[in-house]
Every structure is written in structure tokens, then in C-alpha cells.
Structure 1
Amino acid sequence: MMTNLFTVFDPSSSIFHMSFNWLSTFMGLLMIPPMYWFMPSRYQIIWNNIMLTLHKEFKTLLGPLSHKGSTFMFISLFSLILFNNFMGLFPYIFTSTSHLTLTLALALPLWASFMIYGWINHTQHMFAHLVPQGTPAILMPFMVCIETVSNIIRPGTLAVRLAANMIAGHLLLTLLGNTGSSLTYYTIMLLLIAQIALLVLESAVAIIQSYVFAVLSTLYSSEVN
């Protein structure tokens, strides 16, 4: 029995007290081996083109001083989030990216590693970031406090943005779907049209949010170089 509306997003499916909800997060690994054994399909060619475009864009954001191969870390992050966002649109599949457990596990280590690397290797540069150029001397203490707070809340904003956007659309789809049993035939037809439109919107949100997460992580990385 559902005690409240948000329990539909709880990871509660289990067999013999073993949770199977998080297995959907790793289902993408099953698709990797055939890529190295079969001739590339049209879908794989399209995906390779997308990855190449992302590589060029992330390389531009990171700048000429970035380490070689660092873009592949953000491309992998984009692919993981995109796959899990789309998996959540299928019925009876647990949306792992709608929980802060996963989103914080992605955002917090990235942010912490950027901060540790920056403060150890580029200490003067990191101090310079705390005071924007052209700030009056009287406002410098306040700007340092504001910049420090904005730096600290970055992993939280990354995690909450992704989780909130994913759970909001799924919640709306669930709310509309639960009203179907009490509607008339013509109203159900309108409901189906609305659900299809929302599903298309959620597909766009799944792409946009994974892209935003990867791009913001790339920008945070570029600031410490």
C-alpha cells in the first residue's frame, strides 16, 4: 500500500531481501561488449558522432592547458546520466538519477577532487578566484564570503538540480496516470495525448539535464587550471 505519493520513487523492489532497483544503473554495461565484436550499426555511428562532438566541445571548455584524455571522463559521465535518465522513462524501472544517493555520489567526488587539485597545485590562482577583478577594497571581505559559499554549494546544486528535474516530470506523469480509472472515454483520450506530450518533454529533459551536469562539471574543472 502506498503511504504517500513519493513512495513510488522509493527503492523497495527486492527478492530474498536483495534490492534489484539499482541494477538498472549498470544495465548499460551489457551493451558495451557487442560494440567491439560486431560491425558498427547506424545507431553506433550516430552515437560515435555525438561523442566526437562532445569531445570537441569539452576540449574547448577545458582550454589548451587541460590534461590529455580528461574530456573522456566527462563524456562517460554524460553517457551514464543520459542512460539512467532514459531508463527511468520505461515502466517499472527504478530511476536512479532521481535520488540524491546517486547524484551526490557523482557530484561530490568530482568537486572535491577539483578543489584538492586546485588548492595544492594552483593556490594563488584559487585565491584570486575568490575576489572578482575590479572589486572595491571595502567589498572584498564580503565577496570572499560569497564566493566561498558559492564554491561550497556547487556539488549540492549539481545533485539537487538533476534529482529534482528527474523526479518532477515522473511525479507529474504518475499523478496524471492515477486519474485515468475515474475518467470518461473522451477525457481519457485527452489524457493519453497529454501523457505522450509529457513523455516527449521528459525525453528532452533527460538529454538536457545530463548535458548540463557534464558541462558544469567541465567548467568547474577548467577553473582550477
Structure 2
Amino acid sequence: MSNLFSIFDPTTEINNMSLNWTSTAIGLLLIPTSIWLVPSRNSMMVTLLMNKLHQEMKTILSKGNENKGNSFILTSLFLMILTNNFLGLFPYIFTSTSHLTLTLTLALPMWLSFMLFGWIKNTNHMFEHLVPQGTPSMLMPFMVIIETISNVIRPGTLAVRLTANMIAGHLLLTLLGNNGPSMSHTLLTVLITAQILLLILEAAVAIIQSYVFAILSTLYSSEVN
């Protein structure tokens, strides 16, 4: 199994310096120069996507925070994760979002900042979240424990969800692709068709998972206000 998962190991290096993680910066090269020169179809498409996402996040965030730039930070996070997810679909490009090193780096500081802000600025509001409205008195201690655990594991679930979904699709594509040389021509046609369909599915997963990560982060941010 170590050989199977070795496709996700950051082993490409020059002079003991890993080069795989530079894929997270390749997205900057994909930004068309027409974005800051002349409006083009690419820039209009990205702008429309960001505006739609910005409006959706503004409705989720509380009234006091929708004009403080929170939604712009989260839309930028969505665009970064989406770019890295799509880059991983190309051959010989390291999928940085398939590692907990990156996903936890994104989720943990963000969740920690939400918690610090909530407990410092809105302490009573944070205590209210520990006991849902209408909870019987006998169940209140258990609800406090359950809500605390569910709150603590949030950054882990954010990171693991994104990592597991990116790893699963890539592993399936790799396993099917390794069987190609030993197949007959008829089965090889079926395999190629299946690989194309799986690649389309992976493209959809890349969009969905980046959207889920950004929206859940927005929901966690709205709960502390």
C-alpha cells in the first residue's frame, strides 16, 4: 500500500529542496493578463463567479460583518482551493490539496481566529450555542459536551473532507490506469471511456469541495457574531 500512496508523496526535489509544493503558486501564472488590461471572456467569467459567491456569502454572514471584508477573504479562499484542485487533474502536477499539511493550514488558523473572536467579544453568545433552545434540564450537561466536541473537530472535518475527496478520485484514476497495459483492445476502449468519465467527475468534485470548504467556513464565521 505504500507504493500505491507514493503518488501523493512530495518526492520531487532539487538540491534537497522540494518542488512539489510550488504547484500552489502555479495558479498565479494562470491569471490572464487581460484581467488588468482589457476585459475578456476569462476575466468576465471569473468576475461573475466571484460576484455570485460574494453575494451568497453576504447573505450568510451577519449584518454587522457583511461589509467588513470577510466575504472577500472567503471568496479568495474558494478561488485558491479551486485552482489547486484543478491543477491536480493535470499529469505530473502535485495535488497540494490532497495533503493535510495544506488543508489543516487553511482550516485550523481560520477556525481558531473565529473561536478567539467569539469568546473574547461575544462570550455570552458563545455560551448560548453550547445549549440549544428547548433542551431539557437533565440533558444540558450532555449537550454541552456534545456541542463542545462537535465544535472542536470542525477544523479536522474541513481538512479531512477536502483531502479525502481529492485522494479518493486520484487513487481510483491511478488504479484503473495501471491496468491498461495488460488489457485487450476492447477492454482498453472501455477503460479509456471510464477514465474520461471519472475525470469529468473529478472536475465536478474539485468545484464542489472548494465550494463546501468556503461555505462551511462562512457558516462557522457567522455563528460567532
TM-score normalised per structure 2: 0.97
Q: Which residue of 2 aligns with 1:155?
A: 155
Q: Find the residue that maps to 1:115 and give its secondary structure.
A: helix
Change (3 A) 1:105 1:149: same
Give 2:17's aligned amino acid.
Answer: M
Whole-angstrom distance in 1 between the partners of 2:72 and 2:58: 10
Structure 1 stretches lacking a partner, 5+ long? none
Shift of 1:41: 1.2
Q: After alignment, is 170-179 or 65-74 more displaced?
A: 65-74
Shift of 1:35: 4.6
Shift of 1:27: 1.1
Asked if structure 1 preserves the Cα contact closer than 8 Å seen for 2:35 and 2:43, the reply is: no
Aligned residues: 224
Deviation string 1:140-160 (CA, Å, 9 cap, x unpaired) is 000000000000000000000
Shift of 1:44: 1.0
Q: Which residue of 2 aligns with 1:22?
A: 21
Q: Which residue of 1 aligns with 2:43?
A: 44
Q: Which residue of 1 aligns with 2:109?
A: 109
Q: Which residue of 2 aligns with 1:124?
A: 124
Q: Find the residue that maps to 2:133 and give its secondary structure.
A: coil
Q: Find the residue that maps to 2:132 and give its secondary structure.
A: coil
Q: Which residue of 2 aligns with 1:76?
A: 76
Question: What RMSD over aligned residues (CA atoms) do the two structures have, in Å?
Answer: 1.3
Q: Which residue of 2 aligns with 1:92?
A: 92
Q: Find the residue that maps to 1:26 and give its secondary structure.
A: helix
Q: Find the residue that maps to 1:93 and give its secondary structure.
A: coil
Shift of 1:29: 2.1
Give 1:5's aligned amino acid.
Answer: L
Asked if structure 1 preserves the Cα contact closer than 8 Å seen for 2:34 and 2:40, the reply is: no
Q: Find the residue that maps to 1:64 and give its secondary structure.
A: coil
TM-score normalised per structure 1: 0.97
Deviation string 1:32-82 (CA, Å, 9 cap, x unpaired) is 472554212101101100000000000000021215211000001000000
Change (3 A) 1:195 1:121: same
Structure 2 stretches lacking a partner, 5+ long? none
Runs of 4 or more consecutive aligned structure 1 residues displaced over 4 Å after TM superposition: none
